[in-house]
Amino acid sequence: MNRHYKFENKPLPYAYDAIEPYIDTKTMELHHDKHLQTYVDNLNKLLENYLYLQEWTLEQLVVYADLLPEEIRTPVQNNAGGIYNHEFYFNELGNLQVKEPIGRLRAAIDRDFGSYKKFKAAIEEKGLSVFGSGYAWLVAGAAGNLEIITMPNQETPLTRNVCPILALDVWEHAYYLKHYNVRAAYIEDWLLAVDWEKTNQTCCFL
Ligand code: MN3
């Protein structure tokens, strides 16, 4: 992804079928090539006539939304957030070798949730609590403490002054083809598709 306009939809960092059977190939194709692509196209279109905003990074567009011209503020927030959140989500998946958190992340989860089992229950509960479309995020607060927060639609945790570690997309397009309406089954499978080695390299929970 270019850091500013004109934004591009980078290919997935793994094959569409890389996280079968947990998340199916067709869902990954549609999610990346159609849903994320639409956010990219929309954002580029919105910024077409705002030359100074074409210098802004994705993160700046999200965090400094208050400074955007009113007539494009909400759609820029929605589409820039959609790109940020989806890149985060796709980048955290793709390695099926390690099935559970490891290393420093595991230690931080044990410290702040009591155990991986309790963390699982907590993120499942938070993911199920999102009414309609949105995300549950594992984030680290300023003190490095882990917590799970939910955000509606395409809002991002960057606006909450926390460091994002994992994005759980619970929009129905993320799971409906395989898991139908059973979001809990999708969340179970998503945990097995997370690249825990990569996630353990996030450094904001030290
Ligand atoms: Mn999505």
Calculate the alpha carbon distances from 173 to 42, 61, 77, 142 in Å.
Answer: 18, 25, 20, 32
pLDDT at residue 125 in the model: 98
pLDDT at residue 2 in the model: 66
* CA 173 – ligand 1 centroid, Å: 6
* CA 111 – ligand 1 centroid, Å: 30
For 49, other C-beta atoms within 10 Å of its C-beta total 9
Calculate the alpha carbon distances from 33 to 11, 15, 46, 94 in Å.
Answer: 9, 13, 20, 17
pLDDT at residue 3 in the model: 84
pLDDT tens digits for range 28-81: 999 999 999 999 999 999 999 999 999 999 999 999 999 999 999 999 999 999
* CA 77 – ligand 1 centroid, Å: 15
CA–CA distance, 117 with 196 (Å, rounded to integer): 15
Q: Which two tokens stand for residue 39?
A: 């956010």
* CA 140 – ligand 1 centroid, Å: 22
pLDDT at residue 204 in the model: 80
- Residues near ligand 1 ion, CB 5 Å cutoff: 169, 171, 174
Ranges of residues in the chain with a pLDDT under 50 are: none
* CA 89 – ligand 1 centroid, Å: 8
* CA 176 – ligand 1 centroid, Å: 11
* CA 172 – ligand 1 centroid, Å: 8
